[in-house]
Amino acid sequence: MNTLASSSNFKGVLYAMLTAFLWGFLPIFLKVALKDIDPVSIVWFRFAFAFLVLFIYYLIRDRKQLNIIKRPPLILIIAAVALGVNYIGFLQGLNYTSPSNAQIIIQSGPILLALVGVIMFKERLNLKQLAGFGIAGIGLFLFYRTQLQTFIHDTNAFNLGFFWVELGAVTWVLYAVLQKKLVQKHPAQALNMVLYGIPALLYTPMTDFSAFQDLDFKTWAIVVFLGVNTLVAYGSIALAFKYTEAYKVSIIVTLNPIITLISMSVLTSLRVSWIQPESMTLYSLIGAILVIGGAVTAVFFSREKKKRVLAVQKEG
C-alpha cells in the first residue's frame, strides 16, 4: 500500500515539475509572439490546437470519452471559462509588462489557492503558514513599488499589466479548485479536451485569422510550440493533481519563475534583439525572492500536509 502511494506521489511530482519547466519558458515565447499576433488570437490558437489534438486522439483510440462533450458537468464549464479568462489575463498582462514581472505577479495564484483551503475547508492558519502569507505580501508590495519605478515613463501600462495578471491569478485558482474535484471522477485528458474546447469556441468570434496568414517559419514554430506547451503543461498538471496532493503541486509550480528570471537575465546579458531586455534592481530581486519564498512557505505548511502525515501514520 505504502509502495503504491509512494510511486503515485513520485509520478505526481514529476508531472508537476514538467509543468513548472514548461511554464518557466512560456512567457518568453508569448512575449515574442505578441510582436506579430494579438493576445486573443494567440489564446484562441493555443486552445484550439490543444483541443484538436485531444479530440483526434480520442476519436481514434477511445470514442466513448467524447461523450463528455455532449453533457459536460456544470463545474467543468465554469472551470473552462475560468481557464479562458486566466489565459487572456496573463497574456494581456504580459503585453503591458515583461516576462519576469508577469511571472512574479502570477504567483499570487498559489497563495490564493492555499487561502481557499482555509476559507472553504475551514482549515486553521498555523503560524508558519501565516508567516508565509505575510512574507509573500511584503515581497509583492516591494516588487510592485520597485518595478513601477522602472516604468516611470509608462506607469499606466505597468498597472494595467499588474491588473490583468492578477485577474489571471484569481481565475486560475477557481480552475484549480474545480479541476481537483473533477479529476477524481473523470479522466484528466478528457476533462482537458473540454477545458480547451469551450474557450476556443468563446474566443473564435474575436480572433483575427488574417494574422496567421503572413507568418514566417520562425513565428509559426513559436506559435505551434505555444500550442504544444498548453497541451503538455496542462495535461501534466491535471495528472499531478490526480497523483499527489494539491499543496505539493502548488509548491513545485510556484518555483517556475526562477526559470524565467534566469533565462531573461541570460538573454539580457547577451543583448539579443528579438526580445526587450529587462531591468530588475536589487530591491526588485529581493521582492521576487520574498514572493516565491513566501508562497512556498504558505503552501508547504498547509493543513493538508498535516492531514496527509496523520493518515500515513495511521496506516503504519
Q: Render pLDDT for 76-97 as a digit per residue (tens, 0 to 9).
A: 999 999 999 999 999 999 998 8
- Taking residues 147-169, report their average pLDDT: 81
- Taking residues 200-223, report their average pLDDT: 93
What 303-309 contacts at long range (C-beta under 8 Å, 24+ apart), as own/partner pairs, is 303/117, 303/118, 303/121, 303/123, 303/124, 303/126, 304/117, 304/123, 304/245, 304/246, 304/247, 305/245, 305/247, 308/245
Residue 55: how many other CB atoms lie within 10 Å: 16
Residue type, 11: K
In this prediction, residue 163 has a pLDDT band, given cuts at 50, 70 and 90, of very high
* Lowest-pLDDT choice from 29-33, 103-107, 191-195: 103-107
- Taking residues 213-235, report their average pLDDT: 91
- Taking residues 141-155, report their average pLDDT: 73
d(CA 115, CA 118): 5
Most confident of 8-12, 101-105, 235-239: 101-105
pLDDT of residue 153: 61
pLDDT of residue 312: 30
pLDDT at 209 over 60: yes
Contact 275, 31 (CB under 8 A): yes
Residue type, 293: G
- For the stretch 242-297, pLDDT in tens is 787 777 787 788 788 888 888 888 888 888 888 887 777 788 888 888 888 888 78
pLDDT at 314 over 50: no
* CB-based contacts of 149, cutoff 8 Å, min separation 6: none
d(CA 207, CA 41): 5
Contact 252, 102 (CB under 8 A): no
* CB-based contacts of 263, cutoff 8 Å, min separation 6: 24, 25, 28
What does the mean pLDDT of the chain come to?
84
- Taking residues 48-56, report their average pLDDT: 95
pLDDT of residue 54: 94
Go through 160-178 and write b for each residue having 16 or more CB atoms within 10 A of its CB, e for each that does not. bbbebbbbbbbbbbbbbbb
State what percent of residues in the chain have pLDDT above 90: 36
pLDDT at 9 over 60: yes
